[in-house]
């Protein structure tokens, strides 16, 4: 998507409010069409297989994705946005801070609240217009408790096999990653100018729907 200049990547590397406003309102159908060309190039002369594409940006442009990839299926991972916001803002400030001497954490906070709340509103609207069997929901806490079981459920939905080797490699990676990662520490909500009760209210519709989706998954 960055190759077509339609990507959240640029927002994570620089404080550019004009681009942020353009991006949130942009029609990215042409960007996804270009991405499709790139995917075809990458797959050229290789065995046919399904692509697994992951980017939070997709929340904002599901209609455009659906036009370009009408046979796509969607896997949504769920976690309370109010808990996630500090993590996302910390990631942005880490990248931006390496490239500027005038980092504004409050700008980063406001940017992410706007981008992801609009994205979630659009995702709710898109899901309401589509068949439920196009979506698979994964709860973040369930993934933490039972990663292998959660992935087995996903692959069953995809009608894909889970080999013994796959399970072994995933188990080994999970243990190694947990050992290296440690407990995450982020700046306070105040550092980013985040009003947590307001954020909880802003994402209220999604938080309610998230529990409904998980109950039927």
Q: What is the pLDDT of residues 118-173, one digit of tens each?
A: 999 999 999 999 999 999 999 988 888 999 999 999 999 999 999 999 999 999 99
**Average pLDDT of the chain, as a whole number:** 92
In the predicted structure, residue 115 carries a pLDDT above the cut 70:
yes
Q: Which residue has the tokens 């087995």?
A: 152
- Between the CA of residue 155 and those of 74, 98, 141, 149, 181, what are the distances in Å? 13, 39, 18, 10, 26
CB neighbourhood size of 121 (10 A): 16
The dotted CATH code for 2-216 is: 3.40.50.300
Pair 15, 107: CB distance under 8 Å: yes
Residue of 213, 16, 196, 212 lying closest to 102 (CA atoms): 16
pLDDT at 182 over 70: no
pLDDT at position 83: 83
Of the two residues 53 and 83, the one the predictor is more confident about is: 53
Given a cut of 70, whether residue 217 has pLDDT beyond it is no
**pLDDT, mean of residues 49-69:** 93
Rounded (5°) CA angle 165-168-173:
125
Helices 147-158 and 164-181: crossing angle in degrees, nearest 10, is: 140
**Tell me, what's the pLDDT at 183?**
63
What is the predicted pLDDT for the residue at 21?
96
Phi/psi for 99 (5° steps) reads: -120, 5
């Amino acid at each position: 998507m960055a190759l077509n200049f339609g990507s959240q990547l640029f927002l994570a590397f620089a404080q550019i409010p004009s681009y942020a406003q353009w991006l949130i309102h942009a029609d990215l159908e042409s960007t996804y069409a270009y991405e499709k060309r790139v995917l075809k190039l990458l797959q050229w002369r290789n065995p046919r297989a399904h692509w697994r594409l992951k980017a939070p940006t997709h929340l904002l442009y599901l209609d455009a994705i659906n036009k370009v990839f009408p046979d796509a299926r969607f896997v949504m991972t769920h976690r309370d946005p109010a808990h996630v916001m500090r993590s996302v803002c910390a990631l942005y400030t880490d990248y931006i801070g390496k490239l500027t001497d005038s980092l504004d954490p409050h700008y980063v906070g406001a940017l992410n609240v706007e981008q992801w709340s609009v994205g979630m509103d659009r995702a709710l609207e898109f899901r309401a217009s589509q068949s439920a069997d196009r979506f698979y929901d994964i709860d973040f806490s369930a993934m933490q408790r039972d990663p292998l079981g959660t992935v087995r459920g996903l692959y069953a939905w995809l009608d894909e096999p889970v080999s013994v080797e796959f399970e072994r490699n995933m188990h080994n990676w999970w243990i190694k990653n947990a050992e290296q990662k440690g407990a995450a520490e982020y700046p306070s909500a105040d550092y980013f100018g985040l009003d947590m009760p307001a954020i909880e209210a802003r994402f209220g519709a999604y938080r309610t729907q998230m529990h409904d989706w998980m109950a039927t998954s």
